[in-house]
Amino acid sequence: MTFQWPIMLMGLAAVPLLAALYVWALRRPARRSVSYTQVEMLAQALEVSGRWTRHFPGVLVALSLAAVILSLGRPIAPMPVPAVQNTVMLSIDVSRSMLADDLPPNRIEAAKAAAKEFVRILPRGLKVGLVTFSSYATLIVPPTTERTRILEAIDLLSTEFATAIGDGLLEAVWALPGRQRPSSPLAPAPVPQPPVPSGSIVLLSDGQSNRGALPQDAARIAREQEVKVYTVGIGTPEGTFLNLGGRSIWVRLDEDTLREVAEITGGTYYHATSTSELRRVYRRLSRDIGWESRPTEVSGLLAGAAALLLAGAVGVSLLRVHRI
């Protein structure tokens, strides 16, 4: 925590001085004797009220004074605020292996439900786009703040053949603001001009890439475009058999590739083996991507805390008087 007006913190020296004055006042002998006939009853009442609890109001007043002085110094602290300047692209695997039912009712439906929850809980004003990939990648919805449009598009997702993870990643990169697709597949990608708008990608897959660009090469391009990629793997690395049209197909999750893609771009890899885990992953991603820590003046919070402490001191004092 830093302060815009640190000189005001000199007022904190008054707190120990007032504490010393309080102790001196308690120990000071009374000038007059107590005019009370039932001295024993008075002593019992004071003993019941507690030797230490009688100091609570004084402690609360001291803390209130300290909070007021700190607020006068105009403190600056890192606070979570909506990252509305960021743009998030969802890139979802829609290959046939997503029909496996180890995540009930099946992987694609579980992924759709988790993605919709992710979109709903992102801060308002943050742009979200959608890309799908199977044997090729398709931009379904460009970045937009219209949540309904994204949710409806997720509902309509269906599966196709093959898995092109690299193409799904690149399609999401080129959809982000400030990034320009190269003029030809062999041409280098233009370097984004500063200031580069913030962009993140959440890529979900359950299989191995067997089409298009290598995922690692796509990840390096994403890094050059200053895009952080978070990868989510569902299914098991050991693999499972999927029955498609009477044929049994063996499918497995390539965790190593997804983890490498995330590491290259500075993102994080998550693995979900159940529907509940997948939902937790997306909720965590919504916090990591949808919010950012920003220096914010918290004078108002400290002033409010001071008012509450002072009100507490008054309340405790009244309760003590009532008990006595």
Average pLDDT, stretch 177-199? Answer: 89
> Do 125 and 272 reside in the same domain of the chain?
yes
Instruction: For 64-91, write each residue's pLDDT tens digit.
Output: 888 888 888 888 988 777 888 899 999 9
pLDDT for the residue numbered 178: 94
| Mean pLDDT for all residues in the chain | 87
**Which residues touch 309 (CB under 8 Å, ≥6 apart)?**
60, 61, 63, 64, 67
> Looking at the predicted structure, is the pLDDT value of residue 40 above 70?
no
pLDDT band at 46 (very low <50, low <70, confident <90, very high): low
Domain match, 110 and 257 both = yes
Predicted confidence band of residue 309 (pLDDT cuts 50, 70, 90): confident
Peptide bond connecting 215 to the previous residue in cis, omega within 30 degrees of 0: no
Average pLDDT on 185-193 reads 85
The larger pLDDT score, comparing residue 43 to residue 314, is at: 314
Segment 150-157 shows an average pLDDT of 97
Residues 12, 155 within the same domain? no
pLDDT at 33: 57
Q: What is the pLDDT of residue 150?
A: 97
Q: What is the pLDDT of residue 247?
A: 75
Number of helical H runs and strand E runs in the chain? 10, 11
- Which range of 29-33, 86-90, 193-197, 232-236 scores highest in mean pLDDT? It is 86-90
Is the domain of 91 the same as that of 139? yes
Total domains present in the chain: 2
Looking at residue 122, its pLDDT comes to 94
Q: Residues 161, 40: one domain?
A: no
Q: Does pLDDT of 12 surpass 60?
A: yes
What is the reported pLDDT for 51?
59
Range of 31-40, 103-112, 146-155, 307-316 with top mean pLDDT = 146-155
| Contact partners, residue 217, CB within 8 Å, separation at least 6 | 166
Same domain, 20 and 130: no
CB 176 within 8 A of CB 289: no
Say whether pLDDT at 295 is over 60: yes
Same domain, 158 and 188: yes
The boundaries of the domain holding residue 259 are: 81-293
CA distances, 115 to each of 9, 36, 122, 179, 313 (Å): 48, 74, 11, 24, 48
CATH number, domain at 206?
Answer: 3.40.50.410
> Does residue 219 sit in the same domain as residue 307?
no
Give mean pLDDT, residues 7-11: 86
Phi–psi pair at 18, nearest 5 degrees: -65, -35
Would strands 228-234 and 199-205 be described as parallel, antiparallel, or unpaired? parallel
**Model confidence over 202-222: pLDDT tens digits?**
999 998 899 999 999 999 999
Upper half-sphere CA count for residue 285 (Cβ side, 13 Å): 31
Residue 183 pLDDT = 86
155 and 192 in a single domain? The answer is: yes
Whether the Cβ atoms of residue 18 and residue 62 lie closer than 8 Å to each other: yes
Residue 264's pLDDT is what? 98
Instruction: Note the residue count of the chain.
Output: 324
What are the beta bridge partners of residue 222? none
pLDDT at 44 over 70: no
Of 83, 68, 73, the residue nearest 128 (C-alpha) = 83
Question: pLDDT value at position 177?
Answer: 96
Burial class (CB in 10 A: 0-12, 13-18, 19+), 299: middle
Both 104 and 202 in a single domain?
yes
Question: What's the pLDDT score for residue 77?
Answer: 87
Mean pLDDT of 197-204: 96
d(Cα 321, Cα 306) in Å, to the nearest integer?
Answer: 23
16/115 same-domain check: no
What DSSP letter does each residue of 200-263 carry, written as one string? EEEEEESS---SSS-HHHHHHHHHHTT-EEEEEEES-TT-EEEEETTEEEEE---HHHHHHHHH
Q: Average pLDDT in the 180-200 region?
A: 89
CA-nearest of 52, 17, 67, 53 to 309 is: 67
Residue 43 pLDDT level (bands cut at 50, 70, 90): low
> Do 135 and 272 have their domain in common?
yes
